[in-house]
Every structure is written in C-alpha cells, then in structure tokens.
Structure 1
Amino acid sequence: MIDILAAVPEAEADDLSASALLASIRSARDVEHAAAAEQLDLAARWADLHPPESIHSAASFTVPGCEHEEPIAGNGCPLVAEFCIAELGTVLGISTLSAKKLIGHSLELRHRLPRLWAQVQAGVVPAWRARSVAEATIHTSPVLTIEAAGWVDAQVAAVAARVGPAQLDRLVAETITRFDLADPDPAADPEDGYLHVDPRHVTVHGQDIHFAGTVCIEAEVDLADSLDLDRALAHGAKARKAMGSTESLDVRRAKALGDLARTQTALDLFHQSTRSAKPAADDDGLPAARQVVLYAHFDATMSGQQTVFGPTGRMEHGRRLALLDQVQAWCAGSRTTVTVKPVIDLHHQLVTPAYEIPDRIREHVILRDRTCVFPWCSRPARACDIDHIIAFDHEADADGRPQTGPTTTSNLAPLCRTHHRLKTHTGWRYRMVEPGVFEWTSPHEHRYRRDHTGTTRIDEPPD
C-alpha cells in the first residue's frame, strides 16, 4: 500500500489547497500504477530464472486433491518450476496461491497478450485491469490457443482502460466461437455460440464468515432452475410464517434454503438404492439431516457442579467469532449429534516412540498452531499434514542410535500438502523456537517468524 501523500511532507500537506491535494493524489496513483507494472515485470523475470524440467506445454503445478494440473499461464507461455513460487510470495508477504497468480498473470500478459503488456509498461493501463483480462484468458473453457488469445489482445487493447467483466466475458465467448474452439455438440443450437462459455457456478465463501455466523453464497444457474428455486424459497418462507415465525422475509428465505439442503441430504438416494428392501424397524434409512462438522472453542468455568461457558468463542473454520447462543441453536435439532471432547493442556508435551501420530497428539498440534505454519499460509491445520520438523529416523532403533526426530509435540507442526512438499524437497528449513512459534529460512536466506499473530520478517539476507 502506497501512502497517497508519500511525496508530500506532512507539514506541507496540511497547507495544500484542494487543487494541489488532488494533484498529489493523482501523482501518488501514477506512482502506484508504475510500481505495480514493475512488479509484474519482475515476477516474469523471476519465472525466467526458474524453468522446470518438464514436457508440459504450459506452466502448471499439481494441485493436491485434484486429478489435473492447474495452469499458471496459457499455452505458449514458458514453464515455471513449482517451488520458486513460495519464495516470491514470502518476500511480497502474500500466500503461495497469490504469488502463483501474480507469476501467471505476468507470463500471460507478456507472451500471449503483448499489446496489453506494452500498455501496462507504458502506464496507459493499470496493472490490476490487465490482470483481470489475463485471469479470464488463462481460465477459459475450452482453452484459448495462442492465436485466439492474440485476437482477444487486439480487441481489448483498444478499450482496455474501460473494459468491464461483462464485456470481457462476451469477448472471450465470441473468440471461442470465432476460432471454433468448442467441442461440437449435436444438440446445441449453432446460433448459441455465446453459450460455449458456461458461466454457471455455485460458490460458498466459507472463509469469509460474518460475526453472526453467516456466510455468503454466490451462484449463477439456469433461468429455469432460478425460477424453481425462487418458488421453493417463497413457499418455504410462507410456511415458516404460517407456523408463527416473526422473522423477516429475507431471513425466512435463507432458512428455507438450508431446509432444502438438508432435505436433499436426507434423501440419500445412492445408499437407498443399495440398501435392502426391508430396513430394520428401528432404522428409518435416513442419515442425520445436518451433516456439518464444526469445531468451536469456548472458555468455561465451574460453578459448583455446573459448567458455565462464556458468551463468545472461536470457530476453527475461518478463525471467526462464535456466539454461544447460535451454537446452542444449531445443536438443538433432534437429529444433531454433539460430541464434547476433553480439554487438552497445550503446555504439556506428548510423546510416542512410533512414527505414526496418534489422534491425541495430532489434536494437540492442531489446537496449538491452528493453521499451516508456513509464512503467510492460512490453510486450517485440521486439513494439513502433520510434519516432523526434524525428520524421523526410521533406522535408529535397528542401528541402536538415539532417535533424532522423535514423534513429540515439540517436533511436530501442521503443513499443508504444498508446503510440506516444499520443505521436504527444497532448501526451505524451519525450527520451533518455542511452542507455536516457528522460524523459517528460505533458500535465499530470507528469514521469517510465524506465530499466532501471523508472519513477520526477522532480517534481510546477507549481501
């Protein structure tokens, strides 16, 4: 973030007229755009220094849990070594995913959108707008060829300073039709070329949880589906009102959507088709309607024989505020299963002689560190691997040597799969200086401190 008055001393800024202040703001904006353009150029040059040994035709790296490789940039861009991305991200103070996008956008612009790249470097088009175009051309379905990307570049270059998402979507769709990139579909109307780009999606923004415990759901569906959904939500809201609900229409519609989700879960058509025709009398054949696992942490005190919980706590998912009243409401359903786990003393060190990590030790590490402990990574610890900071010596017992990498809470930390592989196969190294506090050193000797408050740089590498 650039201070918009960075070029003006504070004492002088207080004396500026309105016109002079606007001029300073504009000047600072130009400096910001120039710095962003330079950052794109440097990101591309960083990629040039790290070509991988690969036969793939586009820069990519494997995404854990996926059966494909996610592209960094489109066909025709130079290849990039996977592990160089994390170091760039840590230097910039951003996640590895954000660094991957920065490198991908810079390569896409330089190699497949050269006109737009030149406008960015000349200061005509801001980098953020050019990056939105690059994001669109990288992730089209089907994939744009070099020629097709060049045609998009030629069209956008004339209006890049004012092109919006809707115009860009139409332009990409026209490109796919013009270059006959879509797979032929005998059932498709040849006049519906624009539909080769399918905008349908349902996105649950689960990482952005409101303090009230709500999340945003964004969707684009077929027109017919949207009408059916609207009628279903209207019917559900009306039914709730008839049953005495005094909540607003918006709240009743939101609850009706949750009812629809739980109804579909309860149908369980797949398992019903494989279940015997005559289920047991005490088994209605339905799974628990609410199949959501939540980890909430609340402070509690003892008042006689009764446990008294505090009114607020912390949700592991999204690391957001949790309200006790709301959690109690979630657990009030007749088919909701509640599991209360014993408190784990995070100050007590747990040890096992085996390599495999028992559930109690794993839970201790998850509760202590909360997320992947790599600099600026925010992946929840419960979805991470548990790494031996000092590698476990599998031959120690057979050779009569002491174990140098014991399975103990003081030698374990959560790492997401990407950063676990990074630590195992590259020059990145780290150590735990105290429980929950880690110091990382990059291959280029940059050092970072990671704790519950986040990531901070320790010092700069030697010249």
Structure 2
Amino acid sequence: MIDPPAAAPEAKADDLSASALLAVARERKAAEDRAAADLLEVAARWADLHPPESIHSAASFTTVGCEREEPIAGPGCPLVAEFCVAEFGAVLGISTLSAKKLIGHALELRHRLPRLWTHVQAGVVPAWRARSVAETTIHTSPSLTVEAAGWVDAQVAAVAARIGPAQLDRLVAETITRFDLAQPDPAADPEDGYLHVDPRHVTVHGQDVHFAGTVRIDAEVDLADSIDLDRALAHGAATQKALGSTESLDARRAKALGDLARTQTALDLFHQSTGSAKSDTISTDTHDRDGLPAARQVVLIAHFDAHTAGDTTVFGPTGQMEHGRRLALLDQIQAWCADSRTEVTVTPVIDLHQQLNTPAYKIPDRIRDHVTLRDRTCVFPWCSRPARACDIDHIIPFDHDAHAEGRPQTGPTQTGNLAALCRTHHRLKTHTTWRYRMIDPGVFEWTSPHSHRYRRDQSGTTRIGEPPD
C-alpha cells in the first residue's frame, strides 16, 4: 500500500542541534527511498492499466546500431501500450525514454526478480540499486530466460544492498553459462563465462563538456586493436614532436586520435618537411596554400549571443553547438577557422522572425532549416532529441483536397504551422489525443489525454496549472 507523505516537522533547521540534524537527514533519506519504492509500484500499476491492443502497439526500445526492437522488460513480463508511456513521463517531468526505463524496471523487478522487488518494497534495498540490477538483466545479451533471471534474483537478493557492477557482471556471465544461453562457439573455453559476454564499447561523453572545450571518451576494445591503436597514437605524437610541437605527450596523443577519427584526411605530415622533393609541387591554390587538403569536412552550426557596439558585432565568449547541444567556445571556433586545413563556408544567416511559406505540402530545405534552427530539439515536453534528427510536423494537418475543392488551406506549410517532432512523438500526436499549438514562434502549449498542460520553449518545459478532476 502506498502511504501518504508525512507532514513536515515544525522545527526549522536553524533551530536544531547537530544530533537532531542527523536524525532529520536520516528521516529524509528514508522518505526518499520509500517514495522511490512507491513510484516503482505506481509505474507497474500504470502498465497494468495499459496493455497493448496488439504486438505492434507495444512499447519497446530500438537497439542502437540495429533495426530490431526489444520489449521494455525481459521475457515473461507483460507488454505495455506504447503511447501510455509519454504521459507518465510528462507528469513526472522526465523524457519518454526515461519513463520507458522506469516502467520497464518496475515490471522486470515485479515479474522476473520478485525477491528483489519484495526487498525494495520492504525498504531493505534502495530502489536505485534494484533498478541497476533490473537494467542489467533486461539488456543482457543473450537474453535471460525467466528461469535464468530467477536464479540471478535468488543470488542477488541476499547481497543486493551491497553488490557492485563488477560482481553483477560476473554473476550474469555465470548465469549465461549455467543455463547454456549463449550460442556454442567451438573456439570458446567452456570454463570461462566471460567469453559469452562482449564488453567492447566506445562511449563519447558529449554532454559533459569541459570549460576548455574537451570531452571525455571511454572505450573497451579488443586486445589486438588496443595495441594497434596505442602504436598509432604513439606514432602520431612523435610525428607532431618532430615537426616542432611543444605540447605535452598527452595533448599530442589526443590530437593524433582526432586525426584517426577523420579517417586518413590528415596527410602524412612528414611529406611536408622542408627540403623534400614534394615541396616543389605544392599547389598555390588559395584553398590549398600549404599543400594540405581540407581535413575537416563536417558542418558545424554554433549559436552565439551577439550585440552591436557601434558598427561592430560583438559575440559572447561561449555558445552552444547545435549537434549534441555541447558547449562551444568562440576562441575554439576562431582557431578552427584559422587552420589552413579547414575549409570554411559561410552560409546566409536565417532570420528566425521571418514567416516563410509554400503552397505545397512538401517542406523545402529553406523552411526546414528555419524550423530546425528555431526549435533546436523535438518540441514535445522534456524531449531532447536534436531537431535535425526529427520530422517536421504540420501542427494543423495539411488539407490535401483543399485546392481541388476550392477551399482555403487550413493547415498551410509555413513556419507558423510547423514544428520539429521526433518520430515517436510525431506518431503520438498523429494517433492519440495529445494536442499542441504554437502560441508564439518556438513556443508550444501541449495538452495530454488526461488534460495535463505543458509549455515548451527553448528554455525547457514547464507545467501549466493543474488538470481538472
């Protein structure tokens, strides 16, 4: 049973002693854990109220790099209607993807990890730790059967309050071997469960940008690949030093990795050494002043605040890259543009206050760019998918028969009637009773099936009032 929240104590923190403050901190942490456990129960009940009408309308995750989809929880858990997830997330102030994970974790715990679920509801195990176990058992490859998940549950339940990620990985690897879930590999050692678990990955932490304009990369690769990569980075760093670089070894290795990322677009710098025969054949073209081709061939769109001081436009020192909404430094952009190997193309500035339109249904590139730059992300509440990866939606649907029947077009293709929606939320708007309207350029008001209302603009999402009973 979900208990109502406890009343706040009358005493203020300033009036409490050290011992009393510790007691309050402990009480607040226990309340937080209780609330998290209750939220898991609510998420599971919400899923119970929304079974899918068919397998095609069941909520699922799209596996990165593949075209297949997987359910939000493991085999043996009930399916959930796809479109119920968005409203649950919107009410909580989280994205649809985060709501999927929450509901999936609740179902995984209740149906496949019942011992762990009981410990969470009893307050023995924090909800966040149980959710980390559920996340692992849901997305293990190969998938855990109901029996295999039950065995993991039995092993974890006794030590769930203190199990770490490494222990959990070893337990899952042992489970895969114990239940013979992996495909047989003649070259694999049957005594080594880790041979059935592929830990390789490369993760670019693009959302965590250092003030110096750098990002962190984590990777786990094959041993042979690691040796080759280390040798390539060492060679690149040594090449830079031989050409006069005074930067540290770490900085030169980082630059060498960037050269590798551009897939051979960085020319062998030793060919540019003075006195070589090739130096006599260097092109004098203005776009190839030093004989090196343009190494960077990507489009970067940066947003900087600017103001005019007399006849001069002054830009702020920091801005935001459109791709990944990463921090951008004006000095860094200027350094990239000053590099002779960087080909700079200046495109016309788009006036986002101008109203663009076309009589056709198909959206031309100039209008698509306008909407993309204005909205920046999907305009659904709390969605952060970049606008360039989204569909452009007619807020009021385009009337395809209006011209033939002599009626005025009620859903014109113009910037005031277009918005960026990711495919998930585009389908949500088309097939459900979610509705939205644009109240100002780039400002949208959404209404959910249960009459919750949200305002979405470039600063984020805010709730509007309270829904009727």
- Once the two structures are TM-superposed, the CA of residue 315 in structure 1 deviates from its matched residue by 1.5
SS at match of 2:404: helix
- Counterpart of 1:324 in structure 2: which amino acid? L
Deviations 1:421-445 (A, max 9, x none): 1101111000001111110000111
CA distance in 2, matches of 1:359, 1:90: 31
Q: Where does structure 1 lack aligned partners over 5 or more consecutive residues?
A: 268-280
**Which residue does the alignment assign to 2:433?**
427
SS at match of 1:256: helix
Change (3 A) 1:199 1:6: farther
Q: Any residues of structure 2 matched to 1:266-415 within 5 Å, and which?
A: 289-298=295-304, 309-415=315-421
TM-score of the superposed pair, with normalisation by structure 1: 0.89
After TM superposition, list the pairs within 5 Å mapping 1:12-91 onto structure 2: 13-55=13-55, 60=60, 66-91=66-91
Q: CA RMSD in A?
A: 2.7
Contact 1:234 1:253 (C-alpha < 8 Å) held by counterparts: yes
The answer as to 2:448 corresponding to 1:442 is: yes
CA distance in 2, matches of 1:338, 1:54: 51
What SS class does the counterpart of residue 459 from structure 1 fall into? coil
Q: 1:161, CA displacement in angstroms?
A: 0.4
Tell me what 1:171 maps to.
Answer: 171
Cα pair 1:208 1:318 within 8 Å, conserved: no
Q: Deviations over 1:264-320 (max 9, x none)?
A: 4679xxxxxxxxxxxxx99xxx99543432111345678999876554433212334
Contact 1:365 1:412 in 2 (8 A): yes
Report deviation, 1:166: 0.1
Aligned residue in 2 for 1:231: 231
- State the alpha-carbon separation in 2 of the partners of residues 129 and 19 from structure 1: 28
1:193 and 1:65, CA in 2 relative to 1: closer, same or farther beyond 3 A?
closer
- The match for 2:192 is 192
Q: How does 1:199-238 map to 2 (within 5 A)?
A: 199-238=199-238
Partner AA of 2:113 in structure 1: L
- Which residue is equivalent to 2:277? none
Inter-partner Cα distance in structure 2 for 1:90 and 1:244: 55
Please state how far the C-alpha of 1:394 moved relative to its aligned partner. Answer: 0.3
Q: Percent identity?
A: 83
Matched residues in 1 for 2:63 and 2:356: separation? 33
**1:58–1:74: 8 Å Cα contact kept in structure 2?**
no
Higher deviation after alignment, 60-69 or 104-113: 60-69
d(CA) in 2 for partners of 1:18, 1:301: 51
Distance 1:304-1:161 versus aligned 2 partners, 3 A rule: closer
Structure 1 distance, partners of 2:71, 2:124, is: 28
Counterpart contact for 2:114–2:153, Cα < 8 Å: yes
Contact 2:206 2:326 in 1 (8 A): no
Letter in 1 for 2:387: A
After TM superposition, give the deviation of residue 418 of structure 1 in Å.
0.7
Cα distance in structure 2, aligned partners of 1:263 and 1:354: 41
Residue matched to 1:121: 121
AA at the equivalent of 1:92? L
- Paired position in structure 1 for 2:92: 92
Q: Structure 1 counterpart of 2:222, which letter?
A: D
1:352 Cα deviation after fit: 0.8
Asked if 2 retains the 8 angstrom alpha-carbon contact of 1:317 and 1:380, the reply is yes
**Residues of 2 paired with 1:58 and 1:195: CA distance?**
33
CA-to-aligned-CA distance 1:222-253 (integer Å, 9 cap, x gap): 23332332333233223323332222332222
Q: Is the counterpart of residue 146 in structure 1 residue 152 in structure 2?
A: no
Q: 1:380 to 1:287 in 2, by over 3 A?
A: farther
* Aligned partners of 1:8 and 1:24 also within 8 Å: no
The corresponding residue for 1:272 is none
Unaligned runs of 5+ in 2: 1-5, 268-282, 286-291
What is aligned with 2:288? none
Cα displacement string for residues 175-230 of structure 1 (whole angstroms, at most 9, x for unaligned residues):
00000000001122223222201111111222333343222211111233323323
TM-score normalized with structure 2 length: 0.88
User: Equivalent residue of 2:218, what SS?
Assistant: strand
Structure 2 residue identity aligned to 1:262: R
1:130 aligned residue? 130
Report the Cα distance in structure 1 between the residues aligned to 2:426 and 2:211, rounded to whole angstroms: 32
Whether the 8 Å CA contact 1:57–1:75 is kept in 2: the answer is: no
- Code of the aligned partner of 1:208: D
Figure out how many residues of one structure are paired with residues of the other and give that number. 443
